[in-house]
Structure 1
Amino acid sequence: MDVLLLSLIAWLNLYTEYDTRVELPNIVITDQANMCRQYGIHDKGTCEATNLRGFYNKKLTIYLNADFDRNDAVDQSRLMHELVHFIQWHNGSDKGACWGQLEVEAYTLQDEWGTQHDLSQTTDPFKLIMLDAACDV
């Protein structure tokens, strides 16, 4: 897993202005129910509705769903998304920034990485607009 993390962080070093000289995050691969509990969602129905596949908890830990396959490019792109949040946090970008803008950046970088790795799956542009618009409130 360290080799994958280092390669994704190296990519972020090339394609962002962030300081990527960081200690590698802990990776916890677990079931969705545990991820939801760690995220603060305790209702089973809400948990299932979120389709939570991963998150970064701002404590050096990235949680990924139990079916994560480090050899699968789609799963690697999900890890990239969470690594963006990890790097944002370590660079202080989360301070004073709107959560929606941080999400837009993470999805945009995830999509850019995915395009370079022949993934056709991209984030719905409407979702990005809504995340960004939430910051204007």
Structure 2
Amino acid sequence: MSPLLTATVLFAGRPSSSPSSHRRRPLAIWLLALLLALPVAPVASSPGDDMAVALARITREQSAWLAASTEYREPDLPGVRFESQAALQQRCFPAFPENLDVRVRGAYDPAEGNIYLDDDLDLSSPVELSYLLHELVHHFQVHNREDISARARGRLEGEAYRLQLRWLGESGVDDPWGALGIDEKTVQIIERSTR
């Protein structure tokens, strides 16, 4: 995204009716036009700002993809936050006193309306970005489905995995199942789960 350069030009002094002032004014306008045509160095921004802009764009694109790929209406975008692995594990498994031997890539908190992602997420990797899409599916579900009870959780989770796999395939990942380390039988078990 290139910066927008806005120039406000104020010509100071009194208007003059002398012939020399009329000749200088077009020259001044020509010089100003030349200066404005020169390339402008972008305003420096921090890596965090660039990442926030990229993440907002990706979230909008994935949200539009979900709206086009499902019968869900597109809700307002959720907040997206980054957390350490320890904080994500505590968020998802609060009853476990120690770190688990699993890596939590993302979580959705429907009460807050926020998606939480691992702070090591690589925005250049479709596989990594698919975890954002997975959590975005849950956001869509919460805002579009009447039955989001505990007994429906398996179906909702299975739907999120299936949409994540479909998105990965459409994003050019050759083996979405292998990339996620999951198989059809596992997704079916998740879908049948009542927990």
Smaller-chain TM-score range?
Answer: 0.7 to 0.9
Larger radius of gyration: 2
Flag structure 1 segments of 5+ consecutive residues without an equivalent: none
Instruction: Select the structure with the greater relative contact order (CA < 8 A; seq sep ≥ 6).
Output: 1
Alignment of 1:47-66 (within 5 A): 47-58=99-110, 59-66=112-119
The counterpart of 1:34, out of the listed 68, 82, 87, is 87
The counterpart of 2:176, out of the listed 94, 98, 121, is 121
Task: Give the structure 2 partner of residue 15 of structure 1.
Answer: 69
- Report the CA distance between 1:42 and its aligned residue: 4.8
1:42-64 Cα shifts (integer Å, max 9, x gaps): 5354x422321111010211111
Task: Tell me, yes or no, if the aligned pair for 1:35 and 1:52 is still in contact at 8 Å.
Answer: yes
So what's the TM-score if we normalise by structure 1? Answer: 0.87
Amino acid at match of 1:109: L
- Report the CA distance between 1:94 and its aligned residue: 4.4
Look up the SS of the partner of 1:55 in the other structure: strand
Task: Tell me, yes or no, if the aligned pair for 2:63 and 2:77 is still in contact at 8 Å.
Answer: no
Q: Work out the number of aligned pairs and report it.
A: 134
Runs of 4+ in 1 over 6 A off after TM superposition: none
Flag structure 2 segments of 5+ consecutive residues without an equivalent: 1-54
| Alpha-carbon distance between aligned partners in 2 of 1:94 and 1:33, rounded to the nearest angstrom | 31
| Alpha-carbon distance between aligned partners in 1 of 2:153 and 2:87, rounded to the nearest angstrom | 23
So what's the TM-score if we normalise by structure 2? Answer: 0.63
Amino acid at match of 1:13: A
